[in-house]
Chains A and B, each alone.
Chain A
Amino acid sequence: MILDSKTPSGPLAEKWTNHKFNVKLVNPANKRKYEIIVVGTGLAGASAAASLAELGYNVKAFCFQDSPRRAHSIAAQGGINAAKNYQNDGDSVFRLFYDTVKGGDYRSREANVYRLAEVSVNIIDQCVAQGVPFAREYGGLLANRSFGGAQVSRTFYARGQTGQQLLLGAYSALSRQVANGKVKLFPRTEMLDVVIIDGKAQGIVTRNLITGTIESHSAHAVLLCTGGYGNVFFLSTNAMGSNVTAAWRAHKKGAYFANPCYTQIHPTCIPVSGDHQSKLTLMSESLRNDGRVWVPKTVEIAEKLRKKEIKPADIPDEDRDYYLENKYPSFGNLVPRDVASRNAKYVCDEGRGVNETGEAVFLDFRDAILRDGEDLVRSKYGNLFDMYHQITGENPYKTPMMIYPAVHYTMGGLWVDYNLMTTIPGLYALGEANFSDHGANRLGASALMQGLADGYFVIPYTVGNYLATQPYDKPSEDHPAFKQSEEEVKEKLERLLSIKGEKTVDYYHKKLGKIMWNYCGMARSADGLAKAKSMIKELKEEFWTNVRVLGTEEELNQSLEKANRVADFLELGELMIDDALNRNESCGGHFREEYQTPEGEALRDDENYAYVAAWEYKGENQDEQLHKEELVFENVKLTQRSYK
């Protein structure tokens, strides 16, 4: 199969406008004859479900949480980018586009990114109209702040809870459509398979998490808005329930998985404190606006710190290494995430880490508090400081925060064309679940932008183009394809319950996470990856013979839910490693130790690797087949990324 991105022809700035004119329309009276399934109710899912219902389609929305409002978009802190140029500082749609492609280390599709930048301005308007209480200036207009990877202030925010406010906005729009009867909501329901009939996605099979009932739902189109797969690392900033299962089951049914090795390690997270740790907490990147990142200049001083013989405040400025400011004078502490994370790893690898484990650097607000006063700092970051205080027991107004990189976001995901359709007709992927907009590294405040762009402003146009060619009739849920899928799903659950082994699901998940973090994390090498691959193979085998899942299928059974998800993570882990091994270059979040510049920056190989790696599932324990979508850059000049 040849991957056709279906990117419209014509000049970059006119592609989307032309495409919107050229797509087929479904007449308003006919929209009610179509049913669309939306899986996931985060920013992408909730905004898509609401917008499609407003247009007149019948929507079924599914989430595994007890309420759509709890999807993990809610935890996004810092902000959302938009090329409004309200600050008169030289921003434009083209600049946002350019920054995003460059930030992604030139591994994203130009046309998609341009469209993203283009609709970014509409998102802010939409959210304000819904009553999202963005931060404002005294004159009553919207406030902005700057974020990593950009030299303009284009980030809109609602204190450190921007994701929450945007999601509650989308959730309110969704709730209105539930009340209107246009959206039927299925909380605590997990999608376990997508059903393909006549080569098209025609529905899904789900498990009711309370009763355990396996059910089929047929539809004319299926939208996967199911987020990323960062929990393959066990420890990440993702929610505990975030999982790859929906996307992975679609992959096994024929949807290609693109660039799985592109994972983002966020530089500002609270360091790991012990083996009991279940998740990592992000400290918003916005903190890097005012906080200064440093470690001691020498290993000796760092050792004294680790032994608690001295306090951070005892170290005079001349003994501090503000390494980001020194190395990247023009971007300073605001370098993109991949660069900031890698440098934190370097200084800690040198033995200059500042906490007991040696895996932490300081994020210091001393100078900001001296300059602006504690009150102003509190008004900007109060909730983040409180959160830090609660988790660590230390007061960041008095002593510098300690931070370390952690897995945060996955740029890879299901391959989609310009219309956000996967390689299965009628199956779409939106938001973090797809691969399309962030290349090999996502810039801060761009995830919220992409989720809402896809849901509010892209899918309402592109899904119509497909549905307009589809008959109104849809297959019955008694169709043999649904029955077969239900059987397969049940069989898998029964198999997990029947193993009755020795070790818990978390035991395997933690082991998998350690392998992924050590060999497929911030730095990767061919040897390490090869080793990791065989380790995962072994682990997978052991999992399927020795995992212990208690209880039954016909009840709320959280161990069974977890086991089912971890089984998919084990398979995904292998594919991530294959992808990382295949990509013999470094780009963005994918850093292969063999490929670096003399300064230790990522060294791309544009000649051989300027493509999207899209993987096709070939069956149980078979190697997947690689398909390439060549990336064409007509508007951006590929250069060695420099933030100096």
Chain B
Amino acid sequence: MKSTSKHIKGIITRCTNYKEADRIFTLISDSGIMNFIARGAKKPKSKLSGHIEPLNYVNLYYRPSKSLNSVSQVESINSFLEIKKEYNLILKAQYMMELSESLSSENEDNSYILSLLIKTLSNIHNSKIPNLDILIYEFEILKYQGFGIRLFDCTNCNKKLERAEHYFSSKAGGFYCGNCFDSKEIHYECIKVSIEQQLLLRTISRKKYMELANLDLREKEIDTCRKLIQNSVRDVIGVQLKTVNFSEL
């Protein structure tokens, strides 16, 4: 008899308790965002409990359904235990999961985003500058979804940007050259970006990560670059991510 059960790998992003002992959860998988119900997962003796937790990379077997897919078996592949031991890393991981969720769709190939998320989550606890890993992740995921930032030419006149401070507009999706910035009344929505910060973004965009070690990277430079990306994400998805409000991010 043909089995109707399927299996899929992915990272659990959020869980909600449902009824007496069930849990409903969201999974970022190769096939996009998927929702599942794990019946009885809250019971201490359940074989599913423990595995059904946010930030667990799991392999799960389920019965497809028109409403919620019902989980029959689950095994953890990676629980990212090192991240779960540090408060700040938990916040950063939750931010990355929310970002991935917001830029993923249902029933669409999502393997690149999933592999990028796993790679970044695996690296941040060993990283000297976790925010740099997250910046690379933010930059890559935005670029992959077709919302990459224009770094080399002006978004208004298309002229090549000179080596100078420029203003970034998340609504325009890139930088304004000096002339265009002066001629436009958009000053309130722009962020001033230094030469070093532009260099950092350009190095990331060329995927020359080894060269990052040669840059004078300070927290301030990384934070400003991350702010640009977060504003771009906000404009792309139409809402501010909830995790962005946490100062420890």
- Please determine whether chains A and B interact with each other in the same assembly: no
| Chain B positions near chain A (C-beta within 8 angstroms) | none
